[in-house]
Amino acid sequence: MTPIAVLGSLNADLVIQMEQFPRPGETVIAQSFAQYSGGKGANQAVACGRLHAAVSMYGALGRDSFSSKLLQSLQESSVGTGDLLFCDDASTGMAHIWVDAGGENAIAIVPGANAHVAPSYIDAVLPKLREASWLLLQLEVPLATLGYLLRQLPADKPRVILDPAPAQPLDQLFTQRVWLITPNEHELHALTGLATATPAEINYACGKLRLETGVHAVLCKAGSRGAFLDDGLCFKNFPGHIVRSVDTTAAGDAFNGALAVALSEGRSLEEAIYLANAAGALCVMKPGAQQSLPWRDDLEAFIHH
């Protein structure tokens, strides 16, 4: 197994369960409230750690009560945390998450310390990032910092997997240095302006995104419809799993984490996508972000069931 690095956000997730989302100006009675450890970066690191990968987390936290819980979650999942930045003048990042009866979610993020992941921090941790074979990135830290990082990396290592969430223009990024980009169908639509309701539409949008960004391949995550891969040679669908969805929070992070772990074990991209689809399916069957991410034994049992 080769080492994985994750650079991205760490958030305290404040989750409200409700029957349906309120319309503008409407007040609804919610069913429950809970606090979980989250942030797309930390979620993906925990997803890797729970699948027994050699993984380290890079990002920033505030010096508050939320940070201790996030550290505990990472460390309990065997994620390296020795190079995290602690900010005296910013709170830990926070996500306010609404979840409806069908398991769909709506999220508002307060960046906090995540906004302090700056080029100076990249300079400090770059030697260790260069030692990784795989690097997972998302868009919850400043894009200018991610662009700086991509330009400082060696040409061939690590291979970069970019999760373009939350979806936003990628102009500031040196996307030619990205090996694989993994939008879901909504993010793919936002990035290309094209419809993504059908496989044919996803195929066309993936091709457009691949050509515009210069990445090696585009992998669209489509929930129960599985995943769609465009690597410039062919377009292929990898069927998903039909499961009872409780909460879709972190399903994409479970997918990306499992994908990186399988690739770090020397599996082919197609084999890795099969494992990633299973991890995403397992994740939506439980509430919360990091607490819903599957452990290796559970994933193996699900695959061989």
Q: pLDDT tens-digit profile of 103-134?
A: 788 888 899 999 999 999 999 999 999 999 99
- Do 81 and 74 meet the contact criterion of CB atoms below 8 Å apart? yes
Q: Are strands 134-137 and 4-7 parallel, antiparallel or unpaired?
A: parallel
55-97 residue pLDDT tens: 999 999 999 999 999 999 999 999 999 999 999 999 999 989 8
Asked if residue 106 is part of any domain, the answer here is no
Is the pLDDT at 5 greater than 80? The verdict is yes
- What pLDDT digit, counting tens, does each position of 226-263 carry? 999 999 999 999 998 888 877 777 899 999 999 999 99
pLDDT at 105: 80
Model confidence at 305: pLDDT above 80: no
Asked whether residue 15 is assigned to any structural domain, the reply reads no
Q: Which of these, 4, 126, 45, lies nearest to 293 by C-alpha position?
A: 45
For the chain, give the percent of residues with pLDDT over 90. Answer: 84
- The CATH number covering residue 264 comes to 3.40.1190.20
Question: What pLDDT is attached to residue 99?
Answer: 87
Whether the model pTM is above 0.85: yes
Number of structural domains (the chain) is 1
Query: Residue 53 and residue 79: Cα distance in Å, rounded?
Result: 9
Q: Which residues contact 63 (CB under 8 A, 6 or more apart)?
A: 86, 87, 88
- What integer pLDDT is reported at residue 278 of this predicted model? 94
Catalytically active residues are: 253
| Alpha-helical runs (H) found in 117-198 | 119-129, 143-152, 185-192
Evaluate whether 8 touches 42 at the Cβ level (below 8 Å).
yes
Is 102 within the bounds of a domain?
A: no
Instruction: Indicate the average pLDDT of the chain.
Output: 94
Quote the DSSP letter at residue 184.
Answer: B
**196-227, pLDDT tens digit by residue?**
999 999 999 999 999 999 999 999 999 888 99
pLDDT confidence of residue 247: 72
Which residue range forms the structural domain that includes residue 233? 4-10+38-92+113-303
CB 249 within 8 A of CB 15: yes
Let me know how long the chain is: 305
Report yes or no on 191 lying in a domain.
Answer: yes
Q: Determine the pLDDT at residue 106.
A: 86
Task: Report the pLDDT value the prediction gives residue 218, as an integer from 0 to 100.
Answer: 98
The whole-angstrom separation of Cα 169 and Cα 88 is: 30
What letter represents residue 151's amino acid?
Answer: R
Check whether 287 has a pLDDT greater than 80: no
pLDDT band, residue 289 (cuts 50/70/90): confident
Which pLDDT score, from 0 to 100, does residue 165 have? Answer: 94
Average pLDDT over residues 274-284: 93
* Rounded mean pLDDT, 31-50: 94
Look at residue 33 and tell me if it is in a domain: no
